[in-house]
Amino acid sequence: MIRKVALASSVICLTTVAVAQEDNSDKPVPAGATMGQLIADGYEIKAAVPNGKRFVVFLQKDSTGYACEMTALSTSQCGKIN
């Protein structure tokens, strides 16, 4: 199970490295943003926990946090948590 979390996190990070290097600090995060959009906007993955057959990934930037449920390896649903 831990290997799956590590693999999923690695794949997500590797696929968004090029996008995350852009400076998007003044762009607002759109409602219903995906995990890739949040990472590109400077949010950092703080934790990932299994939830049945899915994973919930927690992202944070400054005092704003999002929880993203990975519905597939490249599909996620995110919501603001504070």
3-state secondary structure of 17: helix
Q: Can you tell me the distance from the alpha carbon of 47 to that of 56, in angstroms, rounded to the nearest whole number? A: 8
Mean pLDDT (whole number) for 26-46 = 83
Question: What does the pLDDT look like over 45-81, one tens digit per residue?
Answer: 999 999 998 999 999 999 999 999 998 888 889 999 9
Mean pLDDT (whole number) for 13-25 = 41
Query: Does 75 or 19 have the greater pLDDT score?
Result: 75
Decide if pLDDT at 34 tops 60: yes
Of 80, 20, 3, 66, the residue nearest 58 (C-alpha): 66
Q: Can you tell me the distance from the alpha carbon of 82 to that of 80, in angstroms, rounded to the nearest whole number? A: 6
Residue 53 one-letter amino acid:
K
Query: Does 32 or 63 have the greater pLDDT score?
Result: 63
Retrieve residue 21's tokens: 């290097």
3-state secondary structure of 31: coil
Cα–Cα–Cα angle for 37, 42, 46, rounded to 5 degrees: 95
